Structure 1
Amino acid sequence: MVDTTTSAVEVPPASSRSERVGWYFYDWANSAFSTTVVTVFLGPYLTAIAKTAAGCAGDDPCTGRTIDVLGFAIYPGSLFPYTVSLSVFLTVFVLPVVGAIADRSPHKKQLLASFAYLGAAATAGMLFLTGERYLLGAGLFLLANIAFGASVVVYNSFLPQLAGPEERDGVSSRGWAFGYLGGGTLLALNVVAVAFKDRLGLSTGDVARYSIVSAGLWWALFTTLPLRRLRNRPPAAGPARGSVLTDGFRQLWHTLRGLKAYPLTLFFLVAYLVYNDGIQTVIALASVYGTEELKLPDEVLVPTILMVQFLAFFGAMGLGALAKRIGAWKTVLISLVLWTVVLIAAYLLPAGRAVPFVLLGGAIGIVLGGSQALSRSLFSQLIPKGKEGEYFGLYEISDKGTSWLGPLLFGLAYGATQSYRVAIISLITFFVVGFVALLAVPVRRAIIAAGNTPPRVL
């Protein structure tokens, strides 16, 4: 069923190559946060600070000791996954409203700038994350991750304005590829700092903290390029009736009520939220698993995750090329099978062995970029015109660094068993359920039902 209630929208002019490159570079800018902060340094660093507050020292596993978080006693090893989960629970209420506002605002660039610089400032504020200040770290991460998600909602809503149905897989894949190059480049600089920390007179904790701060500065610096090149367009859903904020809340309610008119789009969204929650949890907690369960040092973990970033560039481009031949839907399904194999291999990895971990990281890199880039472009085909921001607000509930059920399950599994292996294998549920749900979506029919023209190959 096609929505006929939305007012006519002025067709925006075609995008230029310069504008698309500017759009790609916001992925370059913000990926430093998801790579350096979420994936590599903050999890182990915040866990170490929580352990110090609990009275643990060195390699003490801290069994049975807890810290106080707003009156709740939790294990230090569960602090980071619980914080990630809480941040995403809060974004459930924030991001869809941000999307609705973006659809009605003629100042979308300014919205992007506000959220990007807020997140970058909170990240840079982790310069003061020392001693036993685990609550400061958790609070700053909550703010940064919510701002990150909000900025990506606005960023994603540009995609249908920049590329038509036949171009969208390629444009989305190039954006993700730029993001992995950007995140990988900053991480490479931080790898050098890890390697030379003794010569620089820095401890492992100092290097982690300065690396986290560098991600905030990088994010702020490179956000200037998309802000210079992207163009504001007439509101996708027409002008707001009154205040943009109040109209955003009003329209969000209408959108949620109207989702039943697009059941296939809703079903795809549910499938995506399930399997991508698993992907994001693996990304966010890989370094914690490597440190705490496999007992691997930063000298192994950081270069491996760096390798993943650059392989993800080729993975995004490669799976994008595969999607041109067999379609994005089939390519994403193949990637979910590969993710299941990755988790089984992670569960079986021996402790203290670097080579198997590095090989597993290579497999993650190949499958990572493509599964995310193609999911984004596929979802963009299922959105009714004029509602891009609103729907991407719902979509972003489980995008970069914004998973919540996965970290919650990981934290609960660890809390119940004190085993990171049990916690990591529990995530296989997301890929199995996500695969079955996505397989059941008739994608071509869903695109037509949303009022859009499907690409030749799906």
Structure 2
Amino acid sequence: MGSNVVEPGVESAPTSAQRRREQRGWCWYDWANSVFPTSVITVFLSLYLTEVAESAARAEGQSCADGSALVDCDISLWGLSFPAGSLWGYLLSVATVVQVLVLPITGAIADRTQNKRVMLGGFAFAGAAATSALALLAGTNWQLGVVLFILANICFGGSVVVYYSFLPEIADADERDGVSSRGWAFGYLGGGLALAFHLALYLSHESLGLTEAEAVRWCFFTAGLWWAVFTLIPLARLRGHQPPQGRERGVAVFRAGFRQLGQTLREAKSYPLTLGFLAAYLVYNDGIVTVTNVAGQYGERELGLDRTVLITTILIVQFIAFVGAVAHGRAARRFGAKRTIMVSLVLWVVVVGAAFFVEAGQEFQFYGLAVGIGLVLGGTNALSRSLFSQLVPPGREAEYFSVYEVGERATSWLGPLVFAAAGQATGSYRLAIVSLVVFFVVGLILVALVPVRRAIVAAGNRPPKVV
């Protein structure tokens, strides 16, 4: 006689209506967390934290010119002295290294315990709290900002690993590209709306009776609030889908997680096609990340554009990326994820090549470039996420997505290095930006070489009708 007993933490099979509701709820976490990389990292924290660090140097009697990192404008931490203007770069590097150490064990514990909803909420709320606490950053206490940012960054990465691992559980092979694309599109829309609100708050600070610094701190507080409040939606709708792989409690969970991580890394060589696609993704994603990170520098230094134009460009990319992600999802449904990614990479080559011909001072040409980046930015990443989820062995989703995230961060230094080296060798930002085409060409070749249908079957999954 069959048993009706359901494993603890695992709910009964959902109806089609419940399944759609869960998928829509899942997409809301893209909306919730996008405020952190967009408003906090990209726009406000880098400049504000540098200003606080320079204030600390001035308080010690050093001379600091506004907006520059003079040799004698130094701060110190743990016995190390460095220019205040270098703080943000060093902080990003340290935060990335910490994530590389933390994320793999996070994925292993998530797979081992299958307590993903609780882990997602824990990471999200802790990260949101650390982000809101950045509102306390004032005066000369830049060290507080360092601690809070590293904590928020760890929580952001951990939540993303757990969040991604839900995708294979809530969407079948034929649904996954569409669900991932909608999530990514929703994230860009949410990030764009949040950034627009924060920019309006910042630009109108005088009429609100706020100083510039106070307006920035309110941006931090509301960014954390946004992240926390909208996280409640996916937490209310996501469900447990798999039984736990172990019964450990307390510290034993961490020991079991390390053992499982070691086992997964040893077994990974049994899936060479999965690793082949991951390698391709890391190559072209490095190009994507570098283009988005240096676009502002290119616009300001090479094209001589005002910072208002650059901020407007960020908003254009955010909202156009929403359209691009939706369009990529529809294209993947008809032509398959692999073919759509390959076409997207060709378009990346065209867009980066077009950057060479943008004339100095021509802001509308630069806006056109932003439209081109937005159209391919969200879709390429969304389909890469969904395709990788097809290549992951069942029950190891969080671990493989932790490798996905760690690999992305561990290789993110190569693109900026190529850009900087090309600029130094040629003395031209134009040739430097064009040099990044190599990442998309090599990535395109590597993707083309991966037999995706065979890779999906080899991982133990059912391939979609169109790949």
- TM surpasses 0.5: yes
- Please name the residue that 1:3 is paired with: none
Amino acid at match of 1:141: F
State yes or no: 1:359 paired with 2:395.
no
- Please name the residue that 1:26 is paired with: 29
State yes or no: 1:145 paired with 2:148.
no
Q: Is the Cα contact below 8 Å between 2:75 and 2:83 reproduced in 1?
A: no
- The SS at the match of 1:114 is helix
- Please name the residue that 1:43 is paired with: 46
Counterparts of 1:173-192 in structure 2 under 5 Å? 173-192=181-200
Q: CA deviation at 1:448?
A: 1.3
Question: Structure 1 pair 51/366, CA: closer, same or farther in 2 (3 Å)?
Answer: farther
Question: Structure 1 pair 162/398, CA: closer, same or farther in 2 (3 Å)?
Answer: same
Question: Structure 1 pair 269/12, CA: closer, same or farther in 2 (3 Å)?
Answer: farther
Q: CA deviation at 1:117?
A: 1.2
- The SS at the match of 2:130 is helix
CA distance in 2, matches of 1:232, 1:37: 32
- Please name the residue that 1:234 is paired with: 242
Question: Structure 1 pair 215/403, CA: closer, same or farther in 2 (3 Å)?
Answer: farther
State yes or no: 1:451 paired with 2:432.
no
**1:303 aligned residue (309, 312, 315):** 312
Question: Structure 1 pair 84/434, CA: closer, same or farther in 2 (3 Å)?
Answer: farther
Amino acid at match of 1:323: A
Q: CA deviation at 1:447?
A: 0.9
CA distance in 2, matches of 1:62, 1:340: 35
Q: Is the Cα contact below 8 Å between 1:24 and 1:178 reproduced in 2?
A: yes
Q: CA deviation at 1:380?
A: 0.5
Question: Structure 1 pair 410/45, CA: closer, same or farther in 2 (3 Å)?
Answer: farther
Amino acid at match of 2:119: L
Question: Structure 1 pair 296/454, CA: closer, same or farther in 2 (3 Å)?
Answer: same
CA distance in 2, matches of 1:89, 1:390: 18
Q: CA deviation at 1:195?
A: 3.8
Structure 1 unaligned blocks of 5 or more: 1-9
Structure 2 unaligned blocks of 5 or more: 1-9
- Please name the residue that 2:446 is paired with: 437
Single out whichever of 69-78 and 120-129 deviates more from structure 2. Answer: 69-78
Q: CA deviation at 1:372?
A: 0.7
Q: RMSD over aligned Cα, in angstroms?
A: 3.4
Amino acid at match of 1:182: G
CA distance in 2, matches of 1:366, 1:204: 34
Question: Structure 1 pair 370/434, CA: closer, same or farther in 2 (3 Å)?
Answer: same
Q: Is the Cα contact below 8 Å between 1:277 and 1:404 reproduced in 2?
A: yes
Question: Structure 1 pair 285/145, CA: closer, same or farther in 2 (3 Å)?
Answer: farther
Q: CA deviation at 1:232?
A: 2.4
Q: Is the Cα contact below 8 Å between 1:29 and 1:182 reproduced in 2?
A: yes
Question: Structure 1 pair 452/175, CA: closer, same or farther in 2 (3 Å)?
Answer: same
- Please name the residue that 1:13 is paired with: 13
Single out whichever of 100-109 and 155-164 deviates more from structure 2. Answer: 100-109
CA distance in 1, matches of 2:423, 2:254: 40
- Please name the residue that 1:5 is paired with: none
Question: Structure 1 pair 377/11, CA: closer, same or farther in 2 (3 Å)?
Answer: farther
CA distance in 1, matches of 2:342, 2:449: 11
Residue deviations 1:159-201, cap 9 Å, x none? 1110100110011111111111211111121232244234234
CA distance in 2, matches of 1:420, 1:213: 40
Single out whichever of 309-318 and 296-305 deviates more from structure 2. Answer: 296-305
- The SS at the match of 1:16 is helix
- Please name the residue that 1:4 is paired with: none
CA distance in 2, matches of 1:376, 1:245: 27
- Please name the residue that 1:166 is paired with: 174
CA distance in 1, matches of 2:453, 2:201: 49
CA distance in 1, matches of 2:420, 2:74: 16
- The SS at the match of 1:232 is coil
Q: Is the Cα contact below 8 Å between 1:32 and 1:219 reproduced in 2?
A: yes
- Please name the residue that 1:102 is paired with: 110
Q: Is the Cα contact below 8 Å between 1:145 and 1:402 reproduced in 2?
A: no
Counterparts of 1:199-278 in structure 2 under 5 Å? 199-202=207-210, 204-235=212-243, 238-240=245-247, 243-278=252-287
Q: Is the Cα contact below 8 Å between 1:276 and 1:403 reproduced in 2?
A: no
How many pairs were matched up? 447
CA distance in 2, matches of 1:51, 1:407: 29
Which protein, 1 or 2, shows the higher relative CO under an 8 Å CA cutoff with sep ≥ 6?
Answer: 1
Question: Structure 1 pair 280/84, CA: closer, same or farther in 2 (3 Å)?
Answer: farther
Q: Identity of aligned pairs, percent?
A: 50
Q: Is the Cα contact below 8 Å between 1:65 and 1:75 reproduced in 2?
A: yes
Q: CA deviation at 1:398?
A: 5.3
Counterparts of 1:77-116 in structure 2 under 5 Å? 78-116=86-124
Question: Structure 1 pair 260/142, CA: closer, same or farther in 2 (3 Å)?
Answer: same
Q: CA deviation at 1:241?
A: 5.5
CA distance in 1, matches of 2:132, 2:287: 28
Counterparts of 1:295-444 in structure 2 under 5 Å? 296-346=305-355, 349=358, 352-397=361-406, 404-406=412-414, 409=417, 421=429, 427-444=436-453
Amino acid at match of 1:93: L
Select the structure of larger CA radius of gyration: 2
- The SS at the match of 2:207 is helix
Single out whichever of 318-327 and 436-445 deviates more from structure 2. Answer: 436-445
Q: CA deviation at 1:451?
A: 1.3
Amino acid at match of 1:452: N
Residue deviations 1:125-167, cap 9 Å, x none? 2213344554443432222112101001111111111010011
Question: Structure 1 pair 51/271, CA: closer, same or farther in 2 (3 Å)?
Answer: farther
Question: Structure 1 pair 415/304, CA: closer, same or farther in 2 (3 Å)?
Answer: closer
Amino acid at match of 1:156: Y
CA distance in 1, matches of 2:301, 2:51: 10
Q: CA deviation at 1:322?
A: 1.2
Single out whichever of 217-226 and 406-415 deviates more from structure 2. Answer: 406-415
Q: CA deviation at 1:94?
A: 1.3
- The SS at the match of 1:199 is coil
